[in-house]
A and B are shown apart, each in its own frame.
Chain A
Amino acid sequence: DARVTQTPRHKVTEMGQEVTMRCQPILGHNTVFWYRQTMMQGLELLAYFRNRAPLDDSGMPKDRFSAEMPDATLATLKIQPSEPRDSAVYFCASGLGPPTGRGISYNEQFFGPGTRLTVL
């Protein structure tokens, strides 16, 4: 059945190392979201894409984080250099939104299983 996949499921790295997380959205979905979840801050939106174009990345620290969609079947979130405060679970979600990026969509967001990142 159709589901969002994320790799890796777990990642332990040392401070200063580059981390790349990957997401395969559900085929046919035109919107992809990256979230970060921690106990203290809850679920925070980092960035999202519509038809592979970035619509909003205001939640993402620009100096070290970058998000891209090389093609419709792959979204990446990269952290360089990583820091201990980046330790969290990172979720990717996909859904169907208005094709132009305007208007309101009540459609469901389908979440992947997450990548648990630990930066030592």
Chain B
Amino acid sequence: TQLLEQSPQFLSIQEGENLTVYCNSSSVFSSLQWYRQEPGEGPVLLVTVVTGGEVKKLKRLTFQFGDARKDSSLHITAAQPGDTGLYLCAGAGVTGGGNKLTFGTGTQLKVEL
């Protein structure tokens, strides 16, 4: 079973602060995705990383895939209240199975004014 542990589980910060969320596993993934989920809605994809060591930027969000493709991080610069939500990483296995994903345990982020 492939498990994805996220840390921290909860994070409450002030507007303008920086933060990093981590997603770790002992398994290798062919790709890793990050989703954000807001209350009462389903998760929405933010980014997909495929290559070990890959870094992708989406405005104030920076995503990195570990060299060994076992871990990933999400860094948010100058957080805003609109960044509030549940952040989920999700990995696709290397042994096939189409686009079946294993989701991480989640990080609940709250950004206050």
Chain A residues packing against B (C-beta within 8 Å): 4, 31, 35, 42-45, 48, 50, 55-56, 91, 93, 95, 97-98, 101-114
Contacts and interface: CB of A to CB of B under 8 A. Distances in A.
B13 interface: no
Interface string B4-21: 000000000000000000
A106 B44 contact: no
Contacts of A50: 98
Contacts of B94: 104
Contacts of A56: 97, 100
Closest 8 CB pairs of A and B: A111-B42, A105-B99, A43-B103, A97-B98, A108-B45, A97-B99, A104-B30, A106-B31
Interface in B56-113: 88, 92, 94, 96-106
Contact of A103 (B48, B88, B96, B103): B96
B43 interface: yes
A110 B33 CA distance: 13
Given A31-B98, A31-B99, A103-B96, A43 B41 contact: no
B28 interface: no
B107 to A, nearest CB: 11
